[in-house]
Structure 1
């Protein structure tokens, strides 16, 4: 019997030597100076440059506080006092310039349109109604009902009062410029213009221009 415990030696196949190595060995055996071994050429691979990260395009948020913040930045102390006297001081407390998209999507995901409330997981619910608006911003929920519709009388009054001749309301930037050009006046003309701007951009946001639907509201003051 063969001894199974004896390890057998495996004979590996002999491979041909590299031509450069063989030549250098032969030259070395002749007593001549061996040439310098050159490194094989390797193609250099340049990593492509990464394109700069682009900011993710988000949908336009009509209720963004940015426009209200811009409007409030134009006011002086006398104008702020007049706004507070009329019970709209809560609009002056909005200090955020933007609302993160992730927070907006989370709030929308919690909103129940049937019950008109925010259902916070594990924390209960928050009603979204006139009383909640009063509690947060201090706007009174009493008195005469607000006429939120288009009327020719209100539109004609605003066209004359604020010199609107184009037939269409100016955009929000021009509206703010008009308030700025009042040179700090704290009268009813300013207050109506401020109310129309706040309602259009924050309370009941429509477009980038004051909607004709909000025009009857200031004229009731």
Structure 2
């Protein structure tokens, strides 16, 4: 019971441990023997550690000896006590096969560093017993805690699918945002002459006469239905909202005012200004809704609804109602377009009395709405452009010094620019994919002094 012990005490303890270990090993070997595959025999034990008939039941011991002998290397084929294993080197005294310490090591089944159940050099292999089983159990537990290849593969597959799905969704979302941004900025699709031109090409003589009688005959002479989007955006970027002019780099400036509107579109430029505030002349709103059959819900009609009416019910009409419907469609879809899909009621008070239409300054209204739309867009107050970009584009093209390829004799300048001519001159003026300004401006707009040769 002291802090030290003699060698005999250690030997007795080792012998008892060996006997107990062998007994456990025999039982474990018998039960595990059924699961051991061929070619992997149980680890042999020294004869001094073999289980005796007294410690192991006869039937169990007999079966164990039978299995060991038939597999070649079991308990029945152990070497004599103290005999060295083939190829084993001699050990110092106390470290041989029969030493108490070696017996204990053999009985508890000490495994090699690899944990494969192999015997150490110089000793015979032992059957799996005691701590050997616990070591394998701990190893199995450690193995089970680590992710298996299948589990890792499945996790990786799920991660890949998530990444792929997220990437595809992100790409789809990015594409949708970009398309929406282009649609918001591309106001020319709402403010182009296409809608109005399709209506105008089916007008009869009486209808055209009514339009010309109020000073809007210039809209019937528009020849270009679409304008280049990139050129329009380039002009917007080069527009000075403080001086109300186009500033063409190293070329000159073009004044954008009501006089320019008059020259390009030929609209009335009377003395009366048009109040375009949202709540101005609200008493005329009821008449506006009644004109389009919306006096009950008081909702502005859509462009589709008005187009349908002009092509069907109003196709043969030329009365005051038809003229008001046509004028409101022209103002909302072409002259003062916004991002809305409905007609705007704000200018209706200016056409409510047919005889007074010619006395308003429609040119100033159009240029004011254009300047405000560009300013709001460039200041970030709105995500879309509003205003008549058609006018701004034709004004710039008609200010270029391009010689006789365009008819200079027409009073309404929009009538001289066909879609084919617009495309041709746009290509001539292009510097890069989105930059223009290659051609010179006419002398009245140019800031470049031409020195004669």
Moved more, 65-74 or 127-136: 65-74
Query: Retained in 1: the 8 A contact 2:274–2:347?
Result: no
Q: Which residue of 1 aligns with 2:274?
A: 146
In the alignment, does 2:246 pair up with 1:118? yes
Inter-partner Cα distance in structure 2 for 1:143 and 1:188: 23
With over 3 angstroms needed to count, the CA separation of the structure-2 counterparts of 1:124 and 1:188, relative to structure 1, is: same
Q: In 2, Cα distance between the equivalents of 1:161 and 1:102? A: 38
Aligned counterparts of 2:250 and 2:318: Cα–Cα separation in 1: 47
Q: Shift in Å at residue 202 of structure 1? A: 1.4
Q: Answer whether contact 1:148 1:216 (CA < 8 A) is retained.
A: no
1:79–1:186 contact (8 Å) kept in structure 2 = yes
Q: Pick from 320, 324, 327: which aligns with 1:188?
A: 320
Aligned-pair CA distance for 1:197: 0.9
Alignment RMSD (CA, Å) = 2.1
| Residue 196 (structure 1) shift | 0.8
Aligned match of 1:205: 337
CA distance in 1, matches of 2:270, 2:282: 26
The 3-state SS of whatever aligns with 2:314 is: coil
Aligned to 2:352: 219
Provide the aligned length of Structure 1 versus Structure 2: 167
Query: Secondary structure of 2:351's match?
Result: helix
Query: CA-to-partner distance for each residue in 1:53-110, whole Å, 9 max, x for gaps?
Result: x9x9432414222222233234222211211121111111223222222111221122
Alignment check: 8 A CA contact 2:288 2:345 kept: no
Distance 1:97 1:191 in 2: 22
**Structure 1 residue aligned with 2:287:** 157
CA distance in 2, matches of 1:177, 1:218: 21
8 Å CA contact retained: 1:148, 1:217: no
299, 315, 330: which one aligns with 1:168:
299
Compare CA radii of gyration and give the structure with the larger one: 2
Deviation of the 1:200 alpha carbon: 0.7
Q: Which residue of 1 aligns with 2:48?
A: none
* CA shift for structure 1 position 211: 0.9
Task: Describe the SS at the equivalent of 2:253.
Answer: strand
Alpha-carbon spacing, 1:70–1:63, altered in 2? closer, same or farther (3 Å): same
Q: Which has the higher helix share?
A: 2
Counterpart in 2 of 1:34? Answer: none
Find the residue that maps to 1:219 and give its secondary structure: coil
| 1:13-162 equivalence runs, <5 A | 57=179, 58-59=182-183, 60-61=186-187, 62-149=190-277, 150=279, 151-162=281-292
Residue in structure 2 matched with residue 50 of structure 1 by the alignment: none
Q: Which moved more, 1:81-90 or 1:161-170?
A: 161-170
Q: Which runs of 5+ in 2 are unaligned?
A: 1-174, 355-453
Q: Unpaired segments of 5 or more residues in structure 1?
A: 1-53
Report the 3-state secondary structure (helix = DSSP H, G, I; strand = E; otherwise coil) of the residue aligned with 1:212: coil
- TM-score with structure 2 length normalisation? 0.35
Question: Can you list the C-alpha shifts for 1:19-58, whole angstroms capped at 9, x where unaligned?
Answer: xxxxxxxxxxxxxxxxxxxxxxxxxxxxxxxxxxx9x943
* C-alpha distance in 2 between matches for 1:87 and 1:169: 25
Secondary structure in 1 matching 2:283: helix
Cα pair 1:200 1:214 within 8 Å, conserved = no
Cα separation, 2, equivalents of 1:161 and 1:65: 24
Q: Distance in 2 between matches of 1:89 and 1:122?
A: 37
